[in-house]
Amino acid sequence: MKEKNVSILIGLGIGGVISFIMLIIFIFIIIFMNQRIQSREQLIQKLIREGQLVEAVVAKGDIPKETIITSEVVKIKIVSLKTLQPGDLTSLDSVMGKKTTREIFKDQHVNADFLKISEKIDSGSVSKQEQP
C-alpha cells in the first residue's frame, strides 16, 4: 500500500512540475508577444511622426458608381506616403455624403477625382504629393 501511495505522490509531483513548466513557458510567450506588439506600435508611431506613414481614406469593399459615401463603406488606413497619389483624401469628413463618379475597389484610396463635389474639399484633407 505504501508503494502505491508513493507512486501516486511521485505521479502528482511530476504532473505538477510539468504544469508549472508549461505555465512559465506560457507566461514567457505572452510577455514576448506583448513586447513585439509594443515594438511594432512604437515603430508605426515613429514612422507617422517622420511622415513616412500617413492616413488615407480607403474603401472597405467595392463601392459602386453613384453611391453616397457613408462610414459604412470607407475607413482610414495607415499607408506609406509613397503610395499616396495627388488628390487622395486623408480625412473621413472630406468624403462623407459625397457621391462616387466611378466604381472604387476594396482597399483603393479614395481620390477627390472619384467624387462629385458640390463644395470645395478642405485642402488639408487632400494629398498634394507630386507623382514621380
Give phi and psi for 71, each to the nearest 5.
-65, -15
The structural domains of the chain, with segments of one domain joined by +, span: 1-50, 52-125
Q: Tell me yes or no: is domain 52-125 CATH 1.10.1040.10.
A: no
How far CA 3 is from CA of 8, 11, 85, in Å, comes to 9, 12, 79
Query: In the beta sheet, which residues pair with residue 89?
Result: 126
Which pTM was predicted? 0.62
Q: How far apart are CA 31 and CA 97, in angstroms?
A: 45
Per-residue pLDDT of the chain (132 residues; tens, 9 = 90+): 555 555 555 556 777 778 888 999 999 999 999 999 999 889 888 888 888 899 999 999 999 999 999 999 999 999 999 999 999 999 999 999 999 999 999 999 999 999 987 644 454 555 555 444
Of the candidates 93, 98, 88, the one whose C-alpha atom is nearest the C-alpha of residue 128 is 88
